[in-house]
Homo-oligomer: A and B are copies of this chain.
């Protein structure tokens, strides 16, 4: 096998993506060129669907900007938000790697630029570049651990605590510090979506939110959240988490 160490030096958003994304940063110049040649980018409007549950997995999607929601839908049309994907996140890698069809839909929440690489090319890169596979292996194994932890928590914690946990997670990824320990989270999620993320009903989440406001732990203004002292929230979470894991 030829030596592969140099990565491409071109500067476009895709190259940037390849360089910054831990998984793809190991591509050689040639491989990166193939990637760039094959990648397709598109801007999606709000509520547009990137892929649907049940569809065969045609390739991998990279969110460049905006916000995409991953949902599972049951026959009655009730959808549950499973996770959020923003800039830098990859969509559809689980079905791609498992060689299965999509088990969830991806629906745009905030206008997003999403790039696509077809399965065949992705598989070729995976085949040519050994390191790439090993990186995906580690990422997938970690995701598996997280999923199992979540399972454990769902059974052990009540809604109030799960909502706090969700807020902390949302903060970690989407929070904007507004100085002196205060944080804003601005994600346009309906109460229904919020509820489905913690495995509860909207009414119950509504009450949990009211409770948080009464405690002065968070302030909800429509779909934005302001947390004056994030420490207190994190503390409250840890008090409930200890004795668990």
**Which residues of A approach B to under 8 Å, CB–CB?**
72, 74-76, 80, 82, 93-100, 103, 126-127, 130, 133-134, 136-138, 140-145, 147-152, 154-156, 199, 242-245
- List residues of chain B with CB within 8 A of the CB of A244: 74-75
With the chains together, A94 CA to B76 CA distance in Å? 35
Task: List 9 A-B pairs, minimum CB-CB distance, nearest first.
Answer: A155-B199, A97-B141, A98-B141, A147-B147, A75-B243, A98-B142, A133-B133, A140-B140, A144-B144
Given contacts A75-B243, A199-B155, A243-B76, contact A97 B149 (CB under 8 A): no
The secondary structure that dominates the A interface is: helix
The distance from the CB of A51 to the nearest CB of chain B, in whole angstroms, is 15
- Which of B138, B154, B155, B242 has a CB less than 8 Å from the CB of A97? B138
CA A133 – CA B148 in complex, angstroms? Answer: 22
> Can you give 30 A-B contacts (C-beta < 8 A)?
A72-B152, A74-B156, A74-B243, A74-B245, A75-B243, A75-B244, A76-B243, A80-B155, A82-B148, A93-B141, A94-B144, A94-B145, A95-B141, A98-B142, A98-B145, A103-B145, A103-B148, A103-B245, A126-B134, A127-B134, A130-B130, A133-B134, A137-B137, A144-B144, A147-B147, A147-B148, A147-B151, A151-B151, A154-B154, A155-B199
